[in-house]
């Protein structure tokens, strides 16, 4: 395996960590929310947990295709502080924006690998949609 390929696997492991962390944040956020708004937000947070886990799995599959085992390295301490819908959405927007930027950063590095390029482009498209959706809710 050449050096570039090793770096791509490292990039994919990082992307997977972003998604798994986002999953855990969505999961916990559901229980941090207070107030009647919580009911309205639950569906969105459930969607968030489902989609981030799907993304993590999709990335793991790409790593496997490259002949590697996904390496998950996360350090996370999610404090049990209550929050309101506005702050929760602002936090999730931040996480989604970072995921989007992370995918954008990886795109030029996979140029030439049709399969990976298509995969990353698709993820950018999906993440862009998420960011816009949450940003709209915060307007």
Partner 1 sequence: METWKEFEANELTHSAAHHLIAIYEVGLEYGGWARVSDVARELNITRGSVSINLRALKKRGWIDTDQHHMVKLSPKGQRAVQSVLAKKAVVKAFLTNVLNVPEPQAEIDSCKVEHLISRPTGEQLVHFMRFLVSEDPLAKQVLDRFRNFHDQCPETRTCDVCQGHCLIQELQQATL
Question: In the complex, what is the shortest distance from the CB of residue 116 to partner 1, in angstroms, rounded to a whole number?
Answer: 19
Phi, psi of 33 (to 5 degrees): -65, 140
Question: In the complex, what is the shortest distance from the CB of residue 46 to partner 1, in angstroms, rounded to a whole number?
Answer: 19
Q: Which stretch binds partner 1 (CB under 8 A): 59-67, 94-102, 109-117, 119-127?
A: 94-102
* 7 lies in the site for partner 1, by CB under 8 A: no
Binding mask 50-89 for partner 1 (x = CB under 8 A): -----------------------xxxxx------------
Which residue's structure tokens are 């790593």? 63
Residue 1 Cα to chain centre, angstroms: 27
* 95 lies in the site for partner 1, by CB under 8 A: yes
Q: Which is nearer to partner 1, 41 or 106 (CB)?
A: 106
Contacts to partner 1 by CB under 8 A: 14, 17-18, 21-22, 25, 73-77, 91, 94-95, 97-99, 101-102, 105
């Amino acid at each position: 395996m050449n050096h570039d390929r090793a770096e791509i696997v490292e990039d994919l492991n990082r992307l997977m960590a972003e998604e798994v962390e986002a999953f855990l944040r969505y999961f916990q956020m559901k229980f941090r929310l207070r107030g009647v708004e919580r009911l309205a937000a639950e569906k969105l947070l459930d969607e968030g947990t489902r989609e981030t886990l799907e993304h993590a799995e999709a990335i793991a599959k790409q790593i496997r295709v490259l002949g590697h085992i996904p390496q998950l390295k996360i350090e996370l301490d999610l404090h049990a502080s209550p929050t309101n819908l506005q702050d929760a959405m602002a936090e999730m927007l931040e996480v989604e924006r970072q995921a989007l930027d992370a995918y954008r950063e990886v795109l030029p590095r996979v140029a030439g690998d049709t399969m990976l390029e298509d995969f990353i482009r698709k993820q950018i498209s999906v993440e862009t949609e998420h960011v816009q959706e949450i940003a709209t809710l915060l307007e």
